[in-house]
Structure 1
């Protein structure tokens, strides 16, 4: 009996340590992997052209240069001349067969999260499977008339514990706009499978119909 209790306590202590360390270790691993990935983009390009470049490379240099390039492009893109050049280059890529599919998909994806055309800023509850079953989603298009659906909206429903989701066309009366939960918290709640908590002062999720 004493041995059984000792094993249970040992398992409890192990799980407690795992719960504390796992999120920290995985977060550090993810950030470190992202850092090294970005840090090696430019050096790998230069080394393919100039093999001797590796002699002068210092860890972190590629990451700093990448950040400087991103900030520089973001800053100069606001000028009239550079803005026109960006628009011209954008137009060429969007009209090039094959490339336009990849380019426009990636461009729309990044703009949906951080650009001027953000799409995941309207958190909703949507009833897709059954009348009394609701899922967290995001309205990505208010009008989908080009698909022959006049009273429908485009709704993206994320999957739990996955960087994926489903697109649905649903009628407006089956969509409820969340007013007491931010889009960020709604996305976090959906991806976590509902185990995370809502950060707002009130956790009540009242909704109003569109």
Structure 2
């Protein structure tokens, strides 16, 4: 009798834990993001900060300000002079070895996620990595640029891949390789990220 009761209580506890854990983590992450955005307001001079001008604190105001700044940045970048300024800045960054590598990797991901068209980050693949016989989930980000195709040869059906790392999917490895060596995986991009978290690698038995 005691064993049955113990098992029942354990089952109830684990069920409750399975429900509360994702809710708690979601609320924690949202709170962290809101606080992080609010901290961005500290770049504004103290006398002009909302907490100084208003008699009360408005949680999440930093998100609104950040969204507005992003829109302004987008408008300026789409203008002729704004675009020229961005191109000039990228050329400047391109001359700094370490910074160049970091910036290009982040920009490539950002372009694929926010500006990409066609199959960018929408086609999921299984690529043989990190060693023979082991496969990782990756995402097609497009095709190599002209310089890379010239160096490796234009005859191959080369594609660019991004293989995310765990537990942070914003970091990972970029590959440029022959498309015939990649097994296409029948998932859309969003489903691919789900697969990435729950089945990170596939091994031969």
Tell me the TM-score normalized by structure 1. Answer: 0.70
Q: Does 1:188 align with 2:194?
A: yes
Q: Residues of 1 paired with 2:165 and 2:92: CA distance?
A: 35
Q: Residues of 2 paired with 1:173 and 1:123: CA distance?
A: 14
Q: What are the superposed Cα offsets for residues 5-38 of structure 1, whole Å, 9 maximum, x if unpaired?
A: 1111111001001111111111111111111101
Whether the 8 Å contact between 1:40 and 1:62 is mirrored in structure 2 is yes
Q: Could you tell which deviates more after superposition, 185-194 or 87-96? A: 87-96
Q: Highest relative contact order (Cα 8 Å, sep 6+), 1 or 2?
A: 2
Whether the 8 Å contact between 1:140 and 1:156 is mirrored in structure 2 is yes
Match of 1:15 in 2: 14
Match of 1:30 in 2: 29
Other structure's SS at 2:78 match: coil
Match of 1:114 in 2: 114
Q: What are the superposed Cα offsets for residues 94-128 of structure 1, whole Å, 9 maximum, x if unpaired?
A: 44566544443432332232224784232112344
Distance 1:9 1:70, change over 3 A: same
The 5 A counterparts of 1:22-61 are: 22-41=21-40, 43-46=41-44, 50=46, 53=49, 55-56=52-53, 58-59=57-58, 60-61=60-61
Match of 2:203 in 1: none
Q: Could you tell which deviates more after superposition, 146-155 or 2-11? A: 146-155
Q: Residues of 1 paired with 2:137 and 2:159: CA distance?
A: 15
Compute the RMSD of aligned alpha carbons: 3.3
Q: What are the superposed Cα offsets for residues 144-181 of structure 1, whole Å, 9 maximum, x if unpaired?
A: 54664774654333345443444456543321223x42
Tell me the TM-score normalized by structure 2. Answer: 0.71
Long gaps (5+) in structure 2? 201-205
Aligned length: 188
Distance 1:38 1:89, change over 3 A: same
Displacement of 1:135 in angstroms is 3.5
Whether the 8 Å contact between 2:34 and 2:63 is mirrored in structure 1 is yes
Other structure's SS at 1:181 match: coil
